[in-house]
Amino acid sequence: MQKKCQFKNGYTFNRVINGCWQLSAEHCLQGHLDYDDAIHAFHELVEQGFTTFDCADIYTGAEELLGRFVMELKGSGHYREEDIQIHTKFVPDKDVLPVINMEYTEGIVDRSLKRMHREALDLVQFHWWDFDVPGMMETAFDLVKLQKKGKIRNIGMCNMDTNALKQMVDAGIPVVSNQAQYSVFDRRPERTLLDYSAEHGIYTFAYGTLAGGFLAERYMGKEYEAPETRSQVKYMQIIEDSLGWDGMQKLLPVLKAIADNHGVTIANVATQYILNQKSVGAVMVGTRNSRHVKSNLQTLEFDLTDEEMKMIRDSVDQYPTPEGECYELERTSPRYKGIILTDRNNVEN
């Protein structure tokens, strides 16, 4: 499988992107995070060619951790800014949406630059919590102004449904990507978003591909277990609204048989299945420690056959997928909104 992809302007990124949400302070519900091991994993990933990282201004501590990694690379004496790609997000808190302005937006962007010791942000992915609150388009144009200032190289979207993405495109915002939750459980992007993105040359960056780790051998034949991370709290809701736990138990052996055929894991198969879908340019795979490096490598070292793709499709098509468009339930349903943290940003931090 192709390991890299690029935007029309020539900017190149990995198809498997090192995700950093799992390294945020609020993510882990049990145990603790080993940040030294995470930095060690970052070095291993870069050595193996996985040079693209995904974080966000609201992932507490993630931008700072990547900044520490950048400083270690600089200290080696062989660092060039283009050697790694760091994709971050601009996610203004829900309660400031009505009053957000250019000063606020530039302050957050400047803070990200300072945290990560970068001359420019490679990709800023814009998220807006509530489409009913005015100001989204004006804020998007402020990001364009910052791009013209040289502080941002590329502008992407995050969790935009088809209509919101169309508004951006129609207004002339130079959108290169849209990050969306997409997995064998959550197939909402297949309704209209993937088609629209493909037609307009916008890459879909898929997250949640492994459903918080539930798509793994350790869950085969298991009864329900209490979530270990905030990811699993969220994706358990997705599983309940799609295959259900029983349906997942029927899907896992299908994925395991395919994985055994290629000498890889269920996670590798589930990830590559999404990578093969229309408009998908990359997937975010969480990297909490050095154990994840081998798995990232394996994902791109084989190719699913058409028959195997059909086996997976036939298995999941027997079940529903969550209602609505991309991220619609997370914006509107009380069952989902209670899981999502909408106040992780503060220009003072």
Domain span at residue 80 reads 4-337
DSSP string, 124-166: EEE--S-TTSTTHHHHHHHHHHHHHTTSEEEEEEES--HHHHH
Q: pLDDT at position 33, please?
A: 65
Contacts 24+ apart (CB under 8 A), 65-70: 65/20, 65/23, 65/35, 65/38, 65/39, 66/20, 66/42, 66/115, 66/116, 67/115, 67/116, 67/117, 68/39, 69/39, 69/42, 69/43, 70/116, 70/117, 70/118
Residue 24 confidence (pLDDT): 56
In a domain, 347, yes or no: no
DSSP single-letter state for residue 202? -
Supply the CATH number for residue 327's domain: 3.20.20.100
Residue 109, domain member (yes or no): yes
Domain for residue 71, yes or no?
yes
Write the burial class of residue 148 (CB in 10 Å: 0-12 exposed, 13-18 middle, 19+ buried): exposed
Q: Classify residue 345: in a domain, yes or no.
A: no
In this prediction, residue 293 carries a pLDDT of: 82
Q: Is residue 105 part of a domain?
A: yes
- What's the predicted TM-score (pTM) here? 0.94
For residue 349, being part of any structural domain is answered with no
What is the structure's pLDDT at 226? Answer: 76
pLDDT of residue 343: 57
Low-confidence ranges of the chain (pLDDT < 50): 27-30, 347-349
Q: What is the pLDDT of residue 299?
A: 95
Question: For residue 241, what are its two tokens?
Answer: 């609204």
User: How many structural domains are present in the chain?
Assistant: 1
In a domain, 93, yes or no: yes
49 burial (CB, 10 Å; 0-12 / 13-18 / 19+) is: middle
At residue 283, the pLDDT reads 98
